[in-house]
Amino acid sequence: MAENLNGTEGPEQQFKSYLSQGKFMIQRSKSLNKFFFHPRVAFPGTGERDLEWIEVSGKGTVHSTSCNRRLPEKGGDFNVSLITLDEGPRMMARVEGIDPDKVEIGQRVKARITSLKGEPAIVFDILKG
């Protein structure tokens, strides 16, 4: 469990700062005991501001998936999926290490921190077994 890294950073920058440190952290409302994603200053729908950053397992399940077609000279095809984290929230991310059109709804995945366009980011790999 961790609190704010720096009182002057906004939620998005805090999220990226944690990723830069190798930590996959998302926010949770203490009073509601519910996680949410995308980083923000208040809990969606209620406005609760008693938020804390919690390091999550990184495990989840593919909820929906799409293969985006691109010319090979533009980097080739890639996958974008909606992942339901074991902690509850959903997030959009790439699933890598598998052909982009072979990702299936219901597959179990594990988060990995990488760099996309020079920024720290989360991608997911298929869990084996």
List the chain domain ranges: 11-55, 59-126
Q: Evaluate the CA torsion angle 33, 37, 38, 39 in order and state its sign.
A: positive
Whole-model pTM: value is 0.86
Residue 4 vs residue 92, higher pLDDT: 92
Query: Which of 68, 8, 58 shows the shortest CA–CA distance to 35?
Result: 58
Question: Domain 59-126 - what CATH class?
Answer: mainly beta
Surface-to-core class of residue 92, CB atoms within 10 Å of its CB (0-12 exposed, 13-18 middle, 19+ buried): middle
Note the pLDDT of residue 5: 47
Residue 42 has pLDDT above 70, yes or no: yes
